[in-house]
Structure 1
Amino acid sequence: MILSAIKGVSLKAVLLALGLSAGALAHADYRIETVTEGLEHPWAMAFLPDGRMLVTERTGQLRLIDAQGRLQAKPIGGLPTPFVATQAGLMEVALDPHFASDPWIYLSYAHGQLDANNTRLARARLVDGELRDFQVLFTAQPAKAGASHYGGRIAFLPDDTLVLTLGDGFDWREQAQNPANHLGKTVRLNRDGSIPPDNPLRGQPGAAEEIYSLGHRNVQGIVYDSRRKRLYSHEHGPKGGDELNLLQPGGNYGWPLTSFGVDYTGAMVTPFTELPGYLAPELHWTPSVAPSGLALYTGERFPHWKGDLFVSTLAEKSVRRVRLDNGRLAGEDILFQELEERIRGVYDGPDGALYLLTDSEDGKLLRVVPL
Structure 2
Amino acid sequence: MPVSFPALPRALALAGLLAATAPGAVAWAQAAETRSLRTERGELRVETIARGVEHPWGLAFLAGDRFLVTERNAGRLRIGTRGGGLSRPVEGVPEVYRYEGPTDRSQGGLFDVALHPQFEENRLVYLSYSAWTEEGGGTAVARGRLVGEDGDQPRLEEVRRIFMMNNPDGSGLHFGGRMAFDPRDNTLLLSIGDRRNMNRSQRPADHAGSIIRMKDDGSPAEGNPFLGRDGHDPHVFAIGLRNPQGMAFDPETRMLWLNDHGPQAGDEIHRIEAGKNYGWPYLTGGKDYSGAPVGVGTEREGMEQAVHIFGRTVAPSGLAVYRGEMFPEWRGQTLHGGLAARALVRTRLEDGRVVEEEWMLRDLDRRIRDVRVHRDGSVWLLTEHSDGEVLRLTPAGGRR
Q: Quick one: structure 1 residues 285 and 25, their matched pair in 2 at CA, closer, same or farther if it must change by over 3 Å?
A: closer
Matched to 1:306, the amino acid is R
CA distance in 2, matches of 1:115, 1:300: 48
CA distance in 2, matches of 1:330, 1:271: 25
Q: Quick one: structure 1 residues 241 and 328, their matched pair in 2 at CA, closer, same or farther if it must change by over 3 Å?
A: closer
CA distance in 2, matches of 1:141, 1:197: 20
* Cα RMSD after superposing both structures: 1.7
CA distance in 2, matches of 1:180, 1:249: 15
Aligned position for 1:120: 140
CA distance in 2, matches of 1:259, 1:281: 9
Matched to 1:165, the amino acid is S
Identical aligned residues as a percent: 39
Q: Which runs of 5+ in 1 are unaligned?
A: 1-22
Stretch deviating more after TM superposition (76-85 or 103-112) = 76-85
The answer as to whether partners of 1:58 and 1:84 remain within 8 angstroms in 2 is: no
Q: Which runs of 4+ in 1 moved over 6 A?
A: none
CA distance in 1, matches of 2:161, 2:168: 16
- How far residue 113 of structure 1 moved from its aligned partner, in angstroms, is 7.3
CA distance in 2, matches of 1:268, 1:330: 27
Q: 1:160 aligns with which of 181, 186, 206?
A: 186
Q: How many residues align?
A: 347
CA distance in 2, matches of 1:115, 1:364: 36
Aligned position for 1:89: 109
Q: 1:30 aligns with which of 26, 44, 47?
A: 44
Aligned position for 1:273: 298
SS in structure 2 opposite 1:100? helix
Aligned position for 2:103: none
- How far residue 326 of structure 1 moved from its aligned partner, in angstroms, is 6.8
Q: Quick one: structure 1 residues 273 and 325, their matched pair in 2 at CA, closer, same or farther if it must change by over 3 Å?
A: closer
CA distance in 2, matches of 1:30, 1:67: 18
Indicate yes or no: 2:136 matched with 1:111: no
- How far residue 103 of structure 1 moved from its aligned partner, in angstroms, is 1.8
CA distance in 2, matches of 1:369, 1:254: 37
CA distance in 2, matches of 1:270, 1:310: 28
- How far residue 175 of structure 1 moved from its aligned partner, in angstroms, is 0.9
CA distance in 2, matches of 1:270, 1:327: 24
Aligned position for 1:144: 169
Stretch deviating more after TM superposition (180-189 or 27-36) = 27-36
Stretch deviating more after TM superposition (208-217 or 62-71) = 62-71
- How far residue 329 of structure 1 moved from its aligned partner, in angstroms, is 3.2
- How far residue 298 of structure 1 moved from its aligned partner, in angstroms, is 2.0
Indicate yes or no: 2:105 matched with 1:57: no
CA distance in 1, matches of 2:369, 2:133: 24
Give the TM-score normalised by structure 1: 0.90
Matched to 2:164, the amino acid is T
SS in structure 1 opposite 2:257? strand
* Structural mapping, 1:203-214, within 5 Å: 203-214=228-239
- How far residue 47 of structure 1 moved from its aligned partner, in angstroms, is 0.5
SS in structure 1 opposite 2:121? coil
Q: 2:59 aligns with which of 45, 58, 64?
A: 45
The answer as to whether partners of 2:193 and 2:243 remain within 8 angstroms in 1 is: yes
Aligned position for 1:347: 372
Indicate yes or no: 2:340 matched with 1:312: no
SS in structure 2 opposite 1:101? helix
CA distance in 1, matches of 2:234, 2:269: 25
CA distance in 1, matches of 2:297, 2:349: 28
The answer as to whether partners of 2:334 and 2:348 remain within 8 angstroms in 1 is: yes
CA distance in 1, matches of 2:225, 2:259: 20
Aligned position for 1:99: 119
CA distance in 1, matches of 2:67, 2:84: 8
Q: 1:178 aligns with which of 195, 203, 228?
A: 203
- How far residue 25 of structure 1 moved from its aligned partner, in angstroms, is 4.6
Aligned position for 2:81: 66
The answer as to whether partners of 1:228 and 1:327 remain within 8 angstroms in 2 is: no
Matched to 2:208, the amino acid is L
Deviations 1:70-102 (A, max 9, x none): 122x21111121013521000000111121222
CA distance in 1, matches of 2:355, 2:186: 31
CA distance in 1, matches of 2:192, 2:247: 11
The answer as to whether partners of 2:133 and 2:168 remain within 8 angstroms in 1 is: no
Aligned position for 2:348: 323
